[in-house]
């Protein structure tokens, strides 16, 4: 958005259109409205929330009190949920990205027996709905006795077929095979060649896969809902819904909507920061997926 | 996505290698490569078996058993599948997600495409701000988005309550007849930006000289959109349709969370097939039946996704 210094309108710098700006702007408002609502209402006390208009500020500014209350409520279980979520996300996203890079690299640069079958099955699995898979996973994991442990969340998050596909396409594009051969002639082993030559070249794709794994694990609701019984292991998504249900179950619980709203805001802030600060990377990664897809 | 397209980079990679060297050392080299290749793919492959293949096989096995109050779990052959085909609650859910898909997916993708074209035309003020803002909802978990929209559209605390008070109207977005529309508003909100970015990336890949050439030939903006930009979106359109269908067919979060927020929203325990499977497995303890349902639903989804893909590819080659 450089200031238009010249009045010359070219293909690369056409005249701005007000109609188009307003129409796109309306859609932007639709996208922004719930988030604005969330921020405004996170600043209200429960009494203000019930009594004031949704998009107007409350009588007092209670954001700080709400945040403190969120971390104190039910003996501070929110910080436990936050910690769980961070563990699930950091371990899950890191392992899944590394495995996808390793596999994608092998698919792009090596031949091995059963490669075609492997590709067919793994790429086919992209269209298996995650939720349809979660119930079979639960049934198996229950049999193996890993339900209600962090492993029930971590193990499924290690596998990201779409990430593998992205890494494969990206390796073929960004890692010159001559460079790999040169490294091997210099005496580097296959794994060292991968770690020191290929992996740095795969950084943009890795950030993309990492970020999208991050989001899908952070936002995962169904899998933890069915796998975990003990609130001690809940991630944020399941925990927040637990609080949300408090007031509604037969009307005997305490209504803590101010805490539900504030904890929802606290849940999305890290994701939004991650997305905004890593824009450059995931946009190039997405672009690649879009073109090849 | 697709095997034929996916084979592309592989061919490219081997063409890049020096053919002379490759020929000479091919047999020994290949065997060595084969072993390291397998070693590299093994961790992914092993976990893939554990997370994808074995659960599906196990679910297929379980789907052959029925839980009875008397006599416990007994082998029942394909009885669960027979029961499923005649289960009106299952078909009610399937019909609902199909109806939802037929209406919501086109609306969402048209919005996504229109926004992508508008932002790509560079005729919009604040392009960067809008592009990021429209994408942001994708980063919001379904639970948070359902909470926000549940409050926003709800008549108890939300804007529609205020609207009804001010105008004396009686609009309820979560009445049994309108709940599905409200869910459509939520889903469209969450995923338009993601699809928009895919279209936007495809448009950015079009060489800009094409536009210059068209402009020199006297084409106006609409002709450029029709002749260059829309055809450039074809491939990504197939991808976004497939992903959207997969997404809406497995709808679960919104209808599962909504009943705890609003009373009498019309959301039943079999509102969508996945919600039904969830209730069967966890509250009805009919695991075999739930396994059969999950498998049938996965098969339906894959069949529809493949049909879309084959159609999309055929249309592409017609061009």
Q: Give exposure, B285-300, as e/b (b: 16+ Cβ within 10 Å).
A: ebbbbbbbbbbbbbeb
Q: What's the rounded mean pLDDT across residues A190-212?
A: 86
CB contact under 8 A, B139 and A268: yes
Q: Note whether A180 and A284 are same-domain residues.
A: yes
Give the angle B173-A215-A152 at the CA atoms, nearest 5°: 100
Higher pLDDT, A46 or B5: A46
**CB-CB neighbors (< 8 A) of B6 in chain A:** 119, 123, 165, 168-169
pLDDT at B174 exceeding the cut of 90: no
Number of residue pairs across A and B with CB atoms under 8 Å? Answer: 337
Domain layout of chain B by residue ranges? 20-62, 80-318
Which helix (DSSP H) or strand (DSSP E) does residue B75 occupy? Answer: strand B72-75
The 10 Å CB-count burial string (b at 16+, else e) for A89-121 is bebbbebbbbbbbbbbbbbbbbbbeebeebbeb
* DSSP bridge partners of B68: B72
Using the beta-carbon criterion (under 8 Å), do B13 and A121 form an inter-chain contact? no
DSSP-derived pairing of the beta strands B72-75 and B65-68: antiparallel
Chain B residues in contact with A171 (beta carbon < 8 A): 9
pLDDT at B26: 46
Evaluate if residue A3 carries a pLDDT over 60. no
Q: Tell whether A29 and A79 lie within a shared domain.
A: no
- What is the per-residue pLDDT for A252? 54
Taking Cα atoms as reference points, which of A136, A96, A155 lies closest to residue A226? A136
Determine, for residues B253 and A221 on separate chains, whether the beta-carbon distance falls below 8 Å.
Answer: yes
Residues A40 and A159 in one domain: no
C-alpha separations of B288 from A22, A278, B99, B105, B274 in Å: 54, 44, 28, 32, 15
Nearest residue of B to residue A111, measured between CA atoms: B34
Residue for token pair 């019930």:
A50
Contact across the interface for B9 and A168, Cβ inside 8 Å: yes
Same domain (yes/no): A162, A73: yes
Same domain, A37 and A168: no
In B180-209, the residues whose Cβ lies within 8 Å of chain A are: 189, 192-193, 197-199, 201-202, 204-205, 208
Instruction: Report the gap between the CA of A10 and the closest CA in chain B (Å).
Output: 9
Nearest Cα of chain A lies from the Cα of B177 at a distance, in angstroms, of 22
Question: Closest Cα to residue A124, out of A164, A152, A158?
Answer: A164
- In the block, residue with structure tokens 């939720």: A131
216-255 in chain B: CB under 8 A from chain A: 221, 235-236, 239, 242, 246, 249-250, 252-253
Token pair in block for residue B280: 């069967």
Say yes or no: A56 and A80 in one domain: no
* Chain B residue at shortest CA distance from A42: B148
Output A55 or B288, whichever has higher pLDDT.
B288
The pLDDT, as a whole number, for residue A285 is: 65
Residue A130, Cβ density class (10 Å: 0-12 exposed, 13-18 middle, ≥19 buried): middle
Higher pLDDT, B194 or B165: B194
CA atoms of B75 and B62, how far apart (whole Å): 9
Nearest CA in chain B to A157: B51
The predicted pLDDT at position B218 comes to 86
Residue A1 within any structural domain of the chain? no
State the residue range of the domain holding A36.
Answer: 14-61
- Is the Cβ pair B136, A31 closer than 8 Å? yes
Mean pLDDT score, A85-104: 95
Report helix, strand or coil for B65: strand
What's the rounded Cα separation, in Å, for the pair B52 and A123? 12
With an 8 Å Cβ cutoff, is A241 touching chain B?
yes
Query: Does A256 lie in the same domain as A128?
Result: yes
Tell me the pLDDT of chain A averaged across its residues: 85
* pLDDT over 60 (residue B31): no
CATH of the domain at A252: 1.10.3720.10
% of chain B exceeding 90 in pLDDT: 37
pLDDT of res. A289: 57
Q: Identify which of B36, B51, B197 has the shortest CB distance to residue A286.
A: B197
- Find, in chain A, the residue whose alpha carbon is nearest to that of B236: A290
Chain A hits for B291, Cβ within 8 Å: 135-136, 139
Q: Residues 254-283, chain A: which have Cβ within 8 Å of B?
A: 257, 260-261, 264, 267-268, 271-272, 274-276, 279, 283
Looking at per-residue pLDDT, the higher value among A161 and B264 belongs to: A161
Residue B77 has pLDDT above 90, yes or no: no
Radius of gyration from C-alpha coordinates of chain A:
24
A85 and A19 in a single domain? The answer is no
Average pLDDT over residues A250-255: 58
Q: Tell me if B48 and A190 make a contact (CB, 8 A cut-off).
A: no
Q: Which residues contact A122 (CB under 8 A, 6 or more apart)?
A: A161, A164, A165, B48
Same domain flag for A278 and A218: yes
> Minimal CA–CA distance to A238: which of A68, A74, A85?
A85
* Nearest residue, CB atoms, B141 vs list A113, A130, A267: A267
Q: Which two tokens stand for residue B212?
A: 């210059």
What is the pLDDT at residue B7?
33
Identify whether residues A148 and A34 lie together within a single domain: no
| Helix-helix angle B54-62:B287-318, to 10 degrees | 130
Whole-angstrom distance, CA of residue A193 vs CA of residue A172: 15
Helix locations, chain B, DSSP H? 3-16, 19-48, 54-62, 79-85, 88-120, 127-135, 142-153, 159-167, 179-204, 208-216, 221-224, 230-232, 234-249, 253-257, 273-282, 287-318
* The CATH number fitting domain B80-318, selected from 1.25.40.10, 3.90.1150.10, 3.30.450.190, 1.10.3720.10: 1.10.3720.10
Which residue of chain A is at minimal alpha-carbon distance from B113?
A24
User: Which of B57, B135, B144 is the mutation pick for testing A, counting most A CBs within 10 A?
Assistant: B144
Question: In the structure, what pLDDT confidence band is assigned to residue A247 with cuts at 50, 70 and 90?
Answer: low
- Is some CB atom of chain A closer than 8 A to the CB atom of B294? yes
Question: Does A254 score more than 60 pLDDT?
Answer: yes
The number of distinct structural domains making up chain A is 2
Q: Is the residue at A3 inside a domain?
A: no
Res A109 pLDDT > 60: yes
Residues of B in contact with A53 (CB under 8 A): 162
Is residue A209 domain-shared with residue A146, that is, in the same domain?
A: yes
A137 plus A234 within the same structural domain: yes
Least confident of A195-199, A205-209, A266-270, A278-282: A278-282
At A207 the pLDDT is: 87
Answer yes or no: are the C-beta atoms of B78 and B94 closer than 8 Å: no
């Amino acid at each position: 958005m450089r200031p238009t210094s010249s009045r010359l309108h070219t293909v690369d710098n056409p005249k701005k259109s007000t109609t188009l700006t307003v129409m796109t702007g309306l859609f932007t408002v639709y996208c922004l409205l719930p988030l604005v609502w969330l921020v405004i209402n996170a600043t209200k006390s429960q009494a203000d929330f019930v009594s004031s208009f949704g998009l107007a500020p409350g009588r007092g500014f209670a954001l700080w009190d709400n945040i403190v209350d969120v971390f104190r409520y039910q003996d501070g279980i929110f910080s436990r949920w936050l910690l769980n979520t961070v563990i699930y996300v950091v371990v899950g996203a890191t392992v899944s990205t590394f495995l996808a890079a390793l596999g994608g690299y092998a698919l792009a640069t090596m031949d091995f027996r059963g490669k075609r079958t492997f590709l067919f099955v793994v790429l086919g699995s992209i269209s298996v709905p995650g939720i349809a898979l979660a119930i079979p996973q639960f049934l198996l994991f229950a049999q193996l006795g890993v339900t209600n442990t962090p492993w029930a969340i971590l193990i499924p998050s290690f596998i990201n077929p779409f990430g593998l596909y992205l890494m494969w396409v990206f390796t073929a594009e960004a890692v010159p095979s001559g460079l790999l051969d040169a490294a091997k002639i210099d005496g580097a082993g296959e794994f060292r060649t991968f770690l020191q030559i290929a992996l740095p070249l795969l950084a943009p794709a890795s950030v993309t896969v990492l970020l999208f794994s991050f989001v899908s694990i952070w936002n995962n609701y169904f899998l933890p809902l069915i796998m975990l019984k003990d609130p001690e292991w809940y991630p944020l998504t399941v925990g927040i819904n637990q609080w949300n249900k408090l007031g509604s179950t037969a009307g005997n619980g305490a209504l803590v909507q101010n805490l539900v709203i504030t904890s929802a805001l606290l849940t999305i802030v890290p994701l939004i920061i991650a997305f905004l600060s890593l824009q450059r990377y995931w946009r190039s990664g997405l672009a690649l997926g879009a073109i090849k897809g | 996505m697709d095997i034929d397209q996916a084979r592309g980079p592989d061919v490219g990679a081997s063409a890049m290698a020096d053919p002379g060297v490759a020929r000479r050392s091919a047999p020994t080299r290949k065997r060595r490569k084969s072993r390291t290749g397998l070693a590299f793919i093994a961790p992914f492959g092993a976990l893939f078996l554990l997370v994808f293949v074995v659960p599906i096989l196990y679910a297929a096995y379980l789907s052959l058993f029925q839980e009875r109050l008397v006599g416990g779990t007994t082998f029942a052959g394909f009885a669960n599948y027979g029961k499923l085909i005649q289960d009106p609650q299952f078909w009610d859910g399937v019909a609902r997600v199909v109806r939802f898909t037929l209406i919501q997916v086109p609306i969402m993708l048209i919005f996504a495409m229109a926004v992508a074209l508008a932002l790509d035309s560079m005729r919009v003020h604040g392009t960067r701000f809008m592009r990021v803002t429209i994408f942001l909802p994708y980063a919001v978990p379904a639970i948070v988005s359902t909470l926000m929209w549940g409050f926003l559209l709800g008549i108890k605390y939300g804007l529609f309550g205020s609207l009804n008070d001010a105008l004396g109207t009686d609009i309820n977005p979560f009445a049994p007849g309108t709940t599905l529309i409200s869910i459509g508003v939520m889903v469209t909100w969450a995923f338009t930006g993601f699809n928009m970015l895919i279209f936007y990336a495809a448009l950015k890949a079009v060489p800009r000289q094409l536009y210059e050439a068209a402009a020199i030939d006297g084409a106006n903006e609409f002709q450029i959109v029709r002749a260059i930009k829309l055809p450039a979106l074809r491939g990504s359109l197939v991808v976004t349709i497939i992903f959207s269908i997969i997404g809406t067919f497995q709808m679960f979060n919104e209808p599962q969370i909504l009943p705890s927020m609003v009373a009498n929203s019309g959301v039943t325990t079999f509102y969508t097939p996945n919600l039904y499977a969830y209730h069967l497995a966890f509250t009805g303890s009919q695991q075999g039946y739930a396994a059969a349902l999950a498998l049938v639903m996965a098969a339906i989804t894959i069949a529809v996704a493949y049909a879309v893909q084959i159609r999309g590819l055929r249309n592409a080659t017609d061009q």
